[in-house]
Amino acid sequence: MRAKPRPGPGGIIRGPRPSSMGFVVMSTPEEVRRVLDVDGVHIVRGWPIEVRPFVRPADPPATTKAQQQQGYHVDDEIEHAQEMLKKLNRFVEEVVKPGEVLYREQHSKSGNRWACPPVMEEMKAEAKKRGLWNLFVPRKFKESPGLTTFEYAHLCEVMGKHLLAAEATNCSAPDTGNME
């Protein structure tokens, strides 16, 4: 049984404080017996308590294999998304990882901390050529790679492990956050 405390005389609640949600869980059988099956205001531990019945939400019904096959299921990823993931992994291994060392060298030699090293532009061109550009664009746009947000999340996991991968595929902030 949960009860929500209300301030007593003078608007002050004395005694143990309620939880962050404003509920007190009755811990002793005597407290529960005093308020069980009775709505209204009661005095518990010296302060007024408004008692309302607690209703536990029903568990969702179990799904059968046939029901899972009717809709999209986590285990049944679309082949297109799996292919994009393979392409992205190849791109990271062949282009991004080798380019990270060159990026640091070019960036330190430029003297301008805001300058974009030429290797980044090369990585971006390669990402466009491989069809890995703007992966976050929703399906309703013609420029979209055709991924759902769920499918794109798997690609983000790969890009998040490498410093330059998101920038090279134009999937870094603020662009990606504004479009999703």
pLDDT digits (tens, 9 = 90+) for 3-17: 555 555 555 544 444
d(CA 130, CA 133): 8
Sketch the domain layout of the chain as residue ranges. 2-51, 76-179
- For residue 65, the number of C-alpha atoms closer than 13 Å in the C-beta half-sphere is 0
Q: Could you give the CA distance from residue 151 to residue 91 in angstroms, rounded to a whole number?
A: 18
pTM, two decimals, is: 0.56
Pick the CATH number of 76-179 from 1.10.540.10, 3.40.50.2300, 1.25.40.10, 1.20.140.10: 1.10.540.10
Q: Are 53 and 39 in contact (CB under 8 A)?
A: yes
47-89: per-residue pLDDT in tens? 666 655 556 667 666 666 555 555 544 444 578 888 999 999 9
Residue 159 banded pLDDT, cuts 50, 70, 90: very high
